[in-house]
Structure 1
Amino acid sequence: MSAIEYVARTNTISIATELRDGGEVRTPIWGVVVEGVPYIRSAYGPDSKWYRRVQRTGHAAFVDGRQRYPATVENVDDEATIRRADDAYKEKYADEPSALREVVAPDVREYTMRVNFQGE
């Protein structure tokens, strides 16, 4: 499975972010794919430790069992793209309405990030 397929098909994806001491932490998050481009969002805004680590380093890895998908991550500030990501979250996670409300809440939409997988 490709990295983009992993994000598109997997309900809860695993993001590995780098600690200052060189270690890493894996965190379960949600992700979506819009027109072939993967996106992630911090449902807790800047309070999420994984989000702060991604902002500090600009990269992460996504982990599916033994498979690792290294990536760079960039913030999205285009309202049309953020709206398309909202729609993708609403479609993919329709069966989880309480958590979905958190990830599409107006105050966290600005924490949307584009994932650029290496080699894809």
Structure 2
Amino acid sequence: MATDDDLTEFLRVTDVVRIVTTTRDGRTIATPIWAVDVDGASFIRSEYGHDAKWFRRATRNPGVGFETPAGIRAVELQVIDGADPLEAAVDEALRAKYGHRRASLAAMLTPLAHGTTQRVVPLGRPL
């Protein structure tokens, strides 16, 4: 059985993860995104800001998770205030993990993306 630590480790080491969000009518959609680790906690950010479809679904509807080898694991997303020092720490984690993807990385470090940083809190259950 998968644990919260398994999910956190999966998000830490996997290059591109798939966030699963739920539509208003209950369908689920998996979207590839990046995830990073800062001091043992996982964080995600939207390259396209608040207008990204996955981001809008994740903030409007319950039922968010990540595809893992053990199945889809449910999470809660906690918004990080743009003035929080964690923004800079997430920037550094993104540079360390994805520095080889210069063009995409640059988009993740813009003010548009900064306002979308979220902490991933595993809920210890399948979605």
Quickly name the TM-score band, shorter chain normalised: over 0.9
Q: Aligned residues: percent identity?
A: 31
For 1:27-106, list aligned pairs within 5 A. 27-57=31-61, 59-77=63-81, 78-106=83-111
CA contact (8 A) 1:59 1:73 kept: no
CA contact (8 A) 1:27 1:50 kept: yes
TM-score under structure 2 length normalisation:
0.88
RMSD, matched Cα: 1.6
Using the alignment, how far apart are the partners of 2:74 and 2:23 within structure 1?
16
TM-score under structure 1 length normalisation:
0.93
Using the alignment, how far apart are the partners of 2:13 and 2:51 within structure 1?
27
CA contact (8 A) 2:7 2:68 kept: no
Using the alignment, how far apart are the partners of 1:87 and 1:65 within structure 2?
27
Following TM superposition, the consecutive aligned residue runs of length 4 or more in structure 1 with deviations greater than 6 angstroms are none
Using the alignment, how far apart are the partners of 1:84 and 1:23 within structure 2?
34
Unpaired runs of at least 5, structure 2: none
Using the alignment, how far apart are the partners of 2:20 and 2:61 within structure 1?
12
